[in-house]
Amino acid sequence: MDTQLQSHSIRVERKHITFDLRENPRGRFLRIIEEVGGRRDAVIVPISGLEEFRDALEKVIAHVKTLPDKP
């Protein structure tokens, strides 16, 4: 059984994205859930990889800022 430690939700266009920090007997993890059109998909990131996940996301964001606007 998982225990929820913290949760934060955002809406981006048609998508509802939830970030759940959870814990179970095997450890802590971040579950990212995308809900769109009644369908749910999830990604699990172990806490041990959270900073690496953030660093990769920051690199993608920095690259997006260098791209020209799409017409």
Walk along the chain (71 residues) in steps of 10 and give the mean pLDDT of each run. 96 97 97 96 98 98 95 72
User: What is the pLDDT, as a whole number, of residue 59?
Assistant: 98
Q: What's the pTM value of the predicted model, to 2 decimals? A: 0.87
CB 30 within 8 A of CB 20: yes
- DSSP character string of 5-68: EEEEEEEETTEEEEEEEEEETTEEEEEEEEEETTEEEEEEEEGGGHHHHHHHHHHHHHHHHHSP
Backbone dihedral angles phi then psi of residue 64, each to the nearest 5 degrees = -60, -40
